[in-house]
């Protein structure tokens, strides 16, 4: 090889080595991507019984506000379902399709005012939601909007607690309504009753009881719960 070609080859090799070194150094300086957060699978339960609101469903905006806040709090990859508690319990399947979930929620909220009278089987609704969430991967959670006055149940409170603990499902609740007991729970604030489940399952509880009932605003509380569930 002639001297000029040898010099050229050495120069090319030096440039390649320097480029490789810079590339390695850049890779070493680059932050390691954090692992993806676990997917959340959540079910929103809306207690539409007359004890929560005596306003006819077609005139009651809070349920739509709560649902929309829940929907907007979901993130890509999340799965969700929605259910209503009246005289009985109706619940959708969990899905990643936000449009389908909105359609189902709209249909479920058309429950007749007659169905809103009578018992309010909150424990049964929570138990059914736990069953629906149990097979899901990642974080699993129930968000309940209710006054906490549960009655007409097949399942007991402790049964629901045990079921949720075994399935790894947390239960969070936004409580509205008066602090007076109902549903045969003599002397107990309904918030204390649902608070037992919340504490046992690692959920969150928020009390929406302003001095003026017209000032009730559960939506920000729902938004905070969804944010907490993604941490």
Instruction: Say which range, 163-172, 173-182, 191-200, 209-218, has the weakest mean pLDDT.
Output: 173-182
Q: Is 141 buried (19+), middle (13-18) or exposed (0-12) by CB count in 10 A?
A: buried
Instruction: Say which range, 142-156, 169-183, 189-203, has the weakest mean pLDDT.
Output: 169-183
Q: Which domain holds residue 26?
A: 1-33
128 and 54 inside one domain: yes
Q: What is the pLDDT of residue 179?
A: 79
**What average pLDDT does the chain have?**
86
65 and 25 inside one domain: no
107 and 198 inside one domain: yes
27 and 46 inside one domain: no
Q: How many domains does the chain have?
A: 2
- In this prediction, residue 187 has a pLDDT band, given cuts at 50, 70 and 90, of low
- Distance between CA 173 and CA 194 in Å, rounded? 7
Overall pTM surpassing 0.75 (yes/no): yes
What is the domain-level CATH number for residue 192?
A: 3.40.50.410
Cα radius of gyration (the chain): 26
pLDDT in tens, 105-146: 999 999 999 999 989 999 999 999 999 999 999 999 999 999
- In this prediction, residue 32 has a pLDDT band, given cuts at 50, 70 and 90, of low
8 and 99 inside one domain: no
Q: Which of 103, 99, 149 is nearest to 125 (CA)?
A: 149
């Amino acid at each position: 090889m002639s001297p000029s070609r040898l010099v050229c080859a050495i120069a090319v090799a030096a440039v390649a080595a320097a480029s490789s070194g810079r590339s390695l150094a850049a890779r070493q300086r680059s932050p390691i991507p954090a692992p993806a957060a676990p997917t959340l699978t959540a079910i929103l339960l809306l207690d539409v019984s007359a004890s929560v609101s005596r306003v006819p469903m077609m005139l009651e905006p809070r349920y739509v506000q709560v649902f929309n806040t829940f929907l907007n709090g979901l993130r890509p990859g999340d799965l969700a379902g929605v259910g209503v508690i009246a005289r009985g319990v109706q619940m959708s399947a969990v899905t990643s399709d936000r449009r389908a979930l909105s359609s189902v929620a709209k249909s479920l909220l058309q429950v007749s005012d007659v169905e809103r009278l009578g018992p309010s089987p909150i424990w049964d609704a929570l138990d059914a939601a736990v069953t629906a969430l149990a097979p899901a991967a990642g974080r699993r959670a129930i968000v309940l909007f209710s006054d906490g006055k549960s009655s007409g149940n097949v399942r007991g409170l402790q049964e629901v607690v045990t079921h949720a603990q075994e399935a790894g499902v947390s239960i969070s609740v936004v409580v509205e309504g008066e602090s007076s007991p109902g549903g045969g729970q003599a002397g107990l604030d309904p918030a204390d009753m649902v608070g037992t489940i919340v504490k046992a399952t690692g959920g969150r509880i928020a009390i929406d009881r302003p001095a003026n009932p017209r000032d009730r605003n559960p939506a920000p509380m729902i938004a905070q719960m969804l944010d907490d569930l993604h941490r």
